[in-house]
């Protein structure tokens, strides 16, 4: 079936009439096209921080589970994911088959010795990290570094992260860095990494520098907030204090980042997959404007990951809603249609 959609395309709000010519949008009528959705159009949702493919932390890649979890993303209207860390090398169909989202990924994580989850990623000496990261980025486009881990652990030194950034950029790739402690976040920003993942406990004074140098923030806000009730019930400990303080302030940090001009990306980092709507809602509840939260999960994230929006020649992805989702976030749970690679993969009809 040849797909046609029409309506008010976000972010501009311009009325468009689009036809899928294979995997590209065109405004030229395509004979035999069927109108699958009309209303308000988003250029496909994005989950910029998700780790599908494993039964539990530390377990190897399961290709059948990977496809099942990717279908959960599609059901939520997600047409593009970024996986800054995967539990193994993905199968050739990952990000390519017509029934799964487009994908960007960093392959396995890179961490210091004694840090990160056993069975996942690769642990290396500091002097090995730049070359390993560059090799990974040359293959996939991204490298992911675990800058800090448990309370009391040393973070990756800023000079090492700077060397990683130089090596990866020379290879034509980008660097994502995990951080949930002040020292790791400060080192990542000082090193000029491309994206800071989580960023919990980040000094808000660093947001202006992130904005000016183009370091994005993927706060995974909904997942961190969801951990607060259990942390509040836990016995007093340094870990409890750290988490309550960091996660409790993370919403305000996320909203402040958006106001400071940092590119904020929506990412879930959670099970079940397909929870992008909860991340958008968490951003709005924290104080982000609905349009900014939707941008973080749609057109701004797509632009950051190299895909255009709802315009001729752009990849044929879209989610269609009855009403403007900027004014009614409940629309997110009930799309009229989801279009992926020019195919209608979900329809209310």
| 53-84 tens-digit pLDDT | 998 888 999 999 999 999 999 999 999 999 99
Question: Which runs of consecutive H residues, i.e. helices, occur in the chain?
Answer: 63-75, 129-140, 158-170, 182-191, 207-213, 221-226, 228-233, 238-248, 250-259, 276-286, 290-296, 299-304
Each residue's pLDDT tens digit, 226-268? 999 999 999 999 999 999 999 999 999 999 999 999 999 999 9
Q: Report how far residue 199's alpha carbon sits from residue 181's, in angstroms, rounded to the nearest whole number.
A: 8
- Where along the chain do its domains lie? 2-42+310-347, 45-304
Report the top-level CATH class of 2-42+310-347: mainly beta
Query: Does the pLDDT of residue 85 top 80, yes or no?
Result: yes
Q: Report how far residue 107's alpha carbon sits from residue 143's, in angstroms, rounded to the nearest whole number.
A: 7
Give 45-304's CATH code, choosing from 3.40.50.300, 2.60.40.10, 3.40.50.150, 3.20.20.140.
Answer: 3.20.20.140
pLDDT at 116: 96
Q: How confident is the model at residue 348 (pLDDT cuts 50, 70, 90)?
A: confident
pLDDT at 49: 98
Query: Does the pLDDT of residue 342 top 80, yes or no?
Result: yes
Each residue's pLDDT tens digit, 184-242? 999 999 999 999 999 999 999 999 999 999 999 999 999 999 999 999 999 999 999 99
Query: Does the pLDDT of residue 349 top 80, yes or no?
Result: no
In this chain, the answer to whether the domains covering 2-42+310-347 and 45-304 adopt an identical fold is no
- Sorted by sequence, the CB contacts under 8 Å of residue 337 that are 6+ apart come out as 5, 36, 37, 318, 319, 320, 344, 346, 347, 348
In angstroms, what is the C-alpha Rg of the chain? 20
Decide if 46 contacts 78 (C-beta within 8 A): yes
Segment 137-148 shows an average pLDDT of 97
Each residue's pLDDT tens digit, 23-41? 999 999 999 999 999 999 9
Q: How confident is the model at residue 153 (pLDDT cuts 50, 70, 90)?
A: very high
Taking the complete model, does pTM exceed 0.95, yes or no? yes
Residue 324, both tokens: 């403007």
Mean pLDDT (the chain) is 97
pLDDT at 58: 86
Query: Does the pLDDT of residue 288 top 80, yes or no?
Result: yes
Residues 299-325: b if buried by 16+ CB within 10 A, e if exposed: bbbbebbebbbbeeebbbbbbbbbebb
Q: Which of 280, 296, 284, 288 is nearest to 332 (CA)?
A: 280
């Amino acid at each position: 079936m040849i797909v046609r959609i029409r309506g008010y395309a976000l972010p501009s709000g311009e009325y468009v009439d689009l036809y899928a010519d294979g995997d590209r949008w065109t405004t030229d009528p395509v004979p035999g096209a069927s109108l699958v959705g009309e209303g308000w159009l988003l250029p496909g949702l994005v989950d910029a921080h998700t780790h599908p493919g494993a039964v539990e932390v530390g377990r190897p890649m399961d290709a059948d589970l990977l496809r099942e979890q990717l279908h959960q993303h599609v059901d939520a209207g997600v047409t593009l994911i970024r996986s800054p860390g995967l539990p193994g090398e993905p199968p050739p169909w990952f990000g390519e088959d017509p029934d799964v989202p487009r994908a960007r990924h960093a392959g396995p994580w890179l961490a210091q010795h004694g840090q990160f989850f056993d069975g996942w990623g690769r642990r290396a000496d500091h002097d090995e990290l730049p070359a390993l990261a560059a090799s990974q980025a040359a293959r996939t486009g991204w490298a992911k570094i675990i800058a800090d881990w448990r309370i009391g652990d040393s973070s990756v030194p800023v000079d090492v992260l700077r060397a990683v950034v130089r090596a990866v950029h020379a290879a034509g790739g980008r660097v994502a860095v995990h951080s949930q402690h002040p020292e790791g976040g400060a080192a990542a920003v000082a090193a000029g990494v491309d994206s800071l993942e989580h960023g919990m406990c980040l000094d808000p004074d660093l947001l202006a520098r992130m904005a000016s140098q183009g370091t994005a923030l993927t706060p995974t806000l909904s997942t961190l907030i969801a951990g607060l009730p259990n942390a509040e019930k836990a016995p007093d400990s340094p870990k409890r204090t750290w988490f309550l303080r960091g996660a409790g302030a993370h919403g305000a940090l996320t909203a402040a980042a958006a106001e400071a001009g940092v590119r904020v990306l929506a990412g879930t980092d959670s099970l079940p997959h397909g929870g992008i709507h909860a991340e958008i809602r968490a951003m709005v509840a924290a104080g982000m404007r609905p349009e900014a939260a939707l941008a973080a999960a749609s057109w701004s994230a797509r632009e950051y990951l190299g895909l255009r929006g709802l315009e001729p020649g752009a990849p044929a992805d879209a989610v269609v809603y009855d009403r403007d989702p900027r004014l009614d976030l409940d629309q997110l749970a009930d799309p009229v249609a989801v279009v992926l690679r020019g195919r209608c993969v979900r329809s209310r009809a």
